[in-house]
Amino acid sequence: MEPAIETKLENFRIRFAERKDVPLILKFIKELAEYEKMLDEVVATEELLEESLFERRIAEVIIGEYQNKPVAFALFFHNFSTFLGRPGIYLEDLYVKPEMRGKGFGTAMLAYIAKLALERNCGRFEWSCLDWNEPAIQFYKNLGALPMDEWTVYRVHGEALNKLAKKFVEGSFR
């Protein structure tokens, strides 16, 4: 277990999540999904998170605590840039409880992940944002983040994912 990281913000620290934090992580995921009007899409369970985060170690989570109470979380993982020939960090989720926003906690969380990216010799730190989330868009732009307007995210999931995988199994590529 890595020690908590003290920040320059009074009474705010960042720490890596531990296995015992899985219920808290799921709670934060659901709060974020509710804010994004996507709660009905959350199928994650404590068991799935524990397997992915602590057994397979596919992603990492940091928890932001204010006055020793969890108020924020970020979930991220490594990707790879063939153009740079180096890994990057992709931020899947950043969430700060609504009543704790505007205090610098989100900036501290992002700055910490940026610091990790540099320490890990990553060439990029990226994330996606919903088009309608104007407060987040302005927040990111104020940090110097640039929207990648010329890129569109594509996703295959559910039945489409099954159908695509089946093409390989059956050898039907046309």
Residue 12, number of CB atoms within 10 A of its CB = 20
Query: Environment class of residue 106 by beta-carbon count within 10 Å: exposed (0-12), middle (13-18) or buried (19+)?
Result: buried
* Count of structural domains, the chain: 1
Q: Which of the residues 35, 90, 112, 140 is marked catalytic?
A: 140
Q: Answer yes or no: is pLDDT of 2 > 90.
A: no
**Residue 144 covered by a domain:** yes
| Mean pLDDT (whole number) for 42-67 | 98
| Mean pLDDT (whole number) for 13-19 | 97
What's the first-to-final CA gap in the chain, in angstroms? 49
| Res 152: pLDDT | 87
Whether 140 is catalytic is: yes
**Residue 33 covered by a domain:** yes
**Residue 61 covered by a domain:** yes
CATH of the domain at 79: 3.40.630.30
**Residue 164 covered by a domain:** no
- Which residues form the domain of 140? 5-148
Cβ-count burial 133-144 (b if 16+ within 10 Å, e if not): eeebeebbeeee
**Residue 172 covered by a domain:** no
| Cα gap 18→172, rounded to integer Å | 44
The pTM assigned to this predicted structure is 0.91
> 5 falls in which pLDDT band (50, 70, 90)?
confident
**Residue 160 covered by a domain:** no
**Residue 100 covered by a domain:** yes
**Residue 74 covered by a domain:** yes
Q: Is 71 helix (H, G, I), strand (E, B) or coil?
A: strand
